[in-house]
Amino acid sequence: MKRLVWTLVLMAVTPVALFAQNETAVTRNAEKLARALYLIETRYVDTLDMDKAIDEMLENLVERLDPHSSYIPKSQVETVNEPLDGSFEGIGIEFAIIADTLTVQSAMAGGPSEAVGLRAGDKIVAVDGENIAGIGLTNDGVRSRLRGPKGSKVELKVLRGEAPLSFIIRRDTIPINSVDAAYLPENGIIYVKISRFAQNTGKEFYEALLGLAKTRPKGIIIDLRGNGGGFMHVAVMLADIFLREGQVIVRTEGNGIDREDRATGMGFYPEGPLVVLVDENSASASEILAGALQDWDRAVIVGRRTFGKGLVQQQYPFADGSEIRLTVARYHTPSGRVVQSPYEMGNRTAYFRQARERYEHGESFSRDSIMMPDSLQFKTLRLGRTVYGGGGILPDVFVPYDTTGINQYVTRVIGSGALQEFANDYLDKHRSDLSADDFAAFQKRYAGCEARAWDGLLAYCTEKGIEPAAESELAACEPILRTRLKALLARGVLGTTGYWQVINQEEDPEFQRALEIVKGWKGTFPTSF
């Protein structure tokens, strides 16, 4: 009987194909591990939580690999995969926990919360009769209460200003949008901001382009700043929109993997002004897209050097519902560049500290601080321009990180949550003054109440115990706070596109540089930037 139990344990740990091999290292180690598990389970003097111990063992093992391989316990699989899956089942709100109170940031368009009238600024104080205000609520606590099977109902008690309201909401399938904003900053020029490369990103991107392009676009700006990546095939799909048939998009090489992805020639926009915005938080699939378009001299890359993640992960499930996300390949841009930053196996701390060290060394503020040896030089495939490998995508046009006006008062106002709280309260009381169908109408309405909103913010911050700024300190940071306040109010009225319209127009030098390049574009690719 014991022999049978041990054999079953061994079969659970070791793939059947391995039994056909002769005493390889893999089979020896699998047998050793299975034997140890069996002995601990059946002979150990005390009781051990084996599920927890095996989770910790696998986590420790994967920690010894590259920085991007990971083990995902069953309890975390849904949370980890959800941003890329493209949907979840719930009530459809974006939320924040402000002053220990669950506060609606926006009701997702077309979702069940919007349908019943829930809106930005509403404070949810009870769910199905359970008080959730002032109890130390966490994000996980919110999800466990508000999410549930499609068709199930949840009752919410809400404060809108001082008025108590009740809502009964029937949960539904909620899409997770990866296109945060899409609009025309000027006639015929399309701006699209992509936050991640998820299952639905290609569809969202196409719909954004086709919805805005009544005629052939005069230019397109793709904003990948802060986009940490996602599915590689989605980045390939987007690159295909802008390249010509047969042009290589990415080369992938690994253990038993050697492939090239090429453009199909069915692209929507294979020529014309194109700019891609990147920064130090653009990674992985973002770098595949930016690198391919740069190598083919198809787009001007604007911003700062990207993170440098050129490793491809494959997710493998276990029978208990947990998963291992294992690095299986490296990718190369069409010119042959390696995008992956150097790393030491098992030393994740040093690897992720590189981003901070770049900042400390001045890379975020000066192109001259980025040291690239000649050995890492490559040539673009059409015009022969010099580009670099060895860690991230170096932009064609460097725009330094802008710290103008960032001081202690700004940090206190934003970091304390006071700015967001005030914006929510202001919308509660003055929504009718700001209500608009488009950004131009919002601009006009906000101009009539901007002074009142600004004075109200300063008074609110003082009431919340934030020490007023000295005159010179306030003068320095006033433009930032005014812009952020306006952007939050625009989001409450027009959604995330409204937010980015304000930020891009009033605060963002990278966006302004991109717009200049698009408007000054000559021929198939600019000769100077």
Residue 485 and residue 347 share a domain: no
Residue 170 and residue 185 share a domain: no
Domain count of the chain? 4
Record the tokens describing residue 3, joined without a space. 């022999």
- Residue 204: φ, ψ to 5°: -60, -40
Task: Give the Cα separation of 119 and 94 in Å (integer).
Answer: 10
What's the pLDDT at 139? 85
- 329: closest CA among 233, 230, 253, 229? 253
* pLDDT per position as a tens digit, 138-183: 888 898 899 999 999 999 999 987 788 999 999 998 877 899 999 9
What's the pLDDT at 23? 59
* pLDDT per position as a tens digit, 228-252: 999 999 999 999 999 999 999 999 9
Cβ atoms of 206 and 268 within 8 Å: the answer is yes
* pLDDT (average), residues 296-325: 94
At residue 386, does pLDDT exceed 80?
yes
Residue 195 — pLDDT band, cuts 50, 70, 90? Answer: very high
Residue 140 and residue 94 share a domain: yes
Question: Above pLDDT 90, what percent of the chain?
Answer: 60
Residue 413 and residue 387 share a domain: no
Residue 335 and residue 321 share a domain: yes
What's the pLDDT at 404? 87
Task: Give the Cα separation of 225 and 302 in Å (integer).
Answer: 10
What's the pLDDT at 21? 45
Cβ atoms of 399 and 304 within 8 Å: the answer is yes
Give the list of residues 6+ apart from residue 8 with CB closer than 8 angstroms, or none.
none
Give the active site residues: 284, 309
Q: Write a three-state SS string for 97-136.
A: EECCEEEEEEECCCCHHHHHCCCCCCEEEEECCEECCCCC
Record the tokens describing residue 36, joined without a space. 């140890």
What's the pLDDT at 120? 75
At residue 9, does pLDDT exceed 70?
no
CATH number, domain containing residue 367: 3.90.226.10
Considering 175, 203, 220, which residue would you say is the last residue of a domain? 175
* pLDDT (average), residues 335-353: 89
* pLDDT per position as a tens digit, 388-445: 998 899 999 999 988 888 899 998 998 888 998 899 889 888 988 999 999 999 999 9
CATH number, domain containing residue 109: 2.30.42.10
Burial of residue 263 (CB within 10 Å: 0-12, 13-18, 19+) is buried
Task: Give the Cα separation of 365 and 159 in Å (integer).
Answer: 45
Record the tokens describing residue 49, joined without a space. 């939580």
Let me know if residue 82 belongs to a domain.
no
Let me know if residue 66 belongs to a domain.
no
- Chain-centre distance of CA 203, in angstroms? 17
Angle formed at CA 92 by CA 90 and CA 96, multiple of 5 degrees? 105
* pLDDT per position as a tens digit, 14-54: 444 444 444 577 888 888 888 988 899 889 999 889 889 89
What mean pLDDT is reported for the chain?
89
* pLDDT per position as a tens digit, 52-70: 989 999 999 999 999 999 9
Q: How many CB atoms lie within 10 A of CB 93?
A: 26
Cβ atoms of 288 and 515 within 8 Å: the answer is no
Task: Give the Cα separation of 156 and 282 in Å (integer).
Answer: 38
At residue 301, does pLDDT exceed 50?
yes
Let me know if residue 250 belongs to a domain.
yes
Residue at token pair 């950004």: 439
Question: Above pLDDT 70, what percent of the chain?
Answer: 95
Task: Give the Cα separation of 169 and 156 in Å (integer).
Answer: 8
Ramachandran bin of 411, using left for φ above 0, alpha for ψ from -120 to 50, beta for the remaining angles: alpha
Enter the DSSP assignment of 520: T
Residue 114 and residue 131 share a domain: yes
Hey, is 103 helix, strand or coil? strand
Considering 401, 431, 454, which residue would you say is the last residue of a domain? 401
Let me know if residue 412 belongs to a domain.
yes
* pLDDT (average), residues 100-112: 82
Q: Which tops the pLDDT comparison, 56 or 352?
A: 56
Residue 429 and residue 369 share a domain: no
Residue 453 — pLDDT band, cuts 50, 70, 90? Answer: very high
Task: Give the Cα separation of 128 and 114 in Å (integer).
Answer: 19
Helix (H) or strand (E) holding 274: strand 274-278
Record the tokens describing residue 472, joined without a space. 């010179």
pTM of this structure:
0.86
Helix (H) or strand (E) holding 519: helix 509-519
Hey, is 60 helix, strand or coil? helix
Let me know if residue 259 belongs to a domain.
yes
Let me know if residue 67 belongs to a domain.
no
Task: Give the Cα separation of 268 and 529 in Å (integer).
Answer: 25
Residue 94 and residue 185 share a domain: no
Let me know if residue 527 belongs to a domain.
no
Residue 355 and residue 266 share a domain: yes
Considering 136, 154, 175, which residue would you say is the last residue of a domain? 175
361-364 CB contacts, 8 Å cutoff, 24+ apart: 363/304, 363/305, 364/280, 364/304, 364/400, 364/401
Residue 255 and residue 226 share a domain: yes
At residue 5, does pLDDT exceed 70?
no
Residue 146 and residue 20 share a domain: no
Residue 135 and residue 258 share a domain: no
Task: Give the Cα separation of 171 and 150 in Å (integer).
Answer: 5
Range of the domain at 145: 87-175
Let me know if residue 500 belongs to a domain.
no
End-to-end CA distance of the chain: 76
* pLDDT (average), residues 303-310: 94
